[in-house]
Amino acid sequence: MDKWIALVRTKLREQKLTQEKLAERVGASQGGVGHWLNKRRQPDLLTMNKVLHALGLEHLEVALVIRGRNEAANDPSVDEPTYDITSAFRYPVSDWATAGQINEKVLPGYQPGIRFEVSDHYAKGAAFWLQVMGDAMTAPMGVSVPQGMMILVDPDIEAQPGKMVIARTPESTEATFRQLSEESGQLYLKPLNPTYPKVLFDERCSIIGVVVQASTKF
């Protein structure tokens, strides 16, 4: 809820919108919008997503995440332990052959066959998830992104040397996951696994997006 409120307040400032104008767009009262933004009332998920869409954030969708039993679960004086429920953003899961081609604007909810995963990360663009394949980004030490991890890719973040990126190269019909590096003024796509070769990033290559989060599911 806090992230949603902060995001809405930021967008209102950026777009120079009043709470009254936002209320008109979502079919609510100005007082209701004020209650939401001051945490006096919590809107339902449908309303939260309606507000995001009214602010031009169609690529985002709020979802509920059950984090698990709270501390009351260990308190014998509490009859019914409750659960900590928080809001998060959900993004579609893509694949390496069609990475970045899912059009989030046609989603809300809702196309059959599209899988989603959630994150507390607010993406700047139409972000999507990929599952890491192979061991090219498995490092012998330090930062490592092994096979099976889920990575969140944001296409609207500027790719800079040192960032993990998803790129297209002429050598493959599928997207490539590498670290963008710079050596003597030249850009390369560098694996974290030193047994794999680095690839020259030239005019034939393009960046699909920057990896902003990695997670493992058990």
CA distance 98 to 194: 27
- Please give the pLDDT value at position 185: 92
The fold of the 92-215 domain, in CATH, is Umud Fragment, subunit A (2.10.109)
Position 217, amino acid: K
What is the pLDDT tens value at each position of the chain, 218 positions in all? 777 888 888 888 888 889 898 889 888 888 988 888 888 888 887 888 888 888 887 767 776 655 555 454 555 554 544 444 456 788 889 889 887 565 444 444 445 567 888 888 888 888 899 999 999 999 999 899 999 999 999 999 999 999 999 999 988 889 999 999 999 999 999 999 999 999 999 999 999 999 999 987 65
- Please give the pLDDT value at position 106: 43
CA distance 136 to 139: 8
What is the domain partition of the chain in residue ranges? 2-91, 92-215
- Please give the pLDDT value at position 110: 43
- Please give the pLDDT value at position 197: 95
CATH code of 2-91, in short, is: 1.10.260.40
Q: How far is CA 190 from the centre of its chain?
A: 23
CA distance 57 to 30: 20
State pTM to two decimals: 0.69
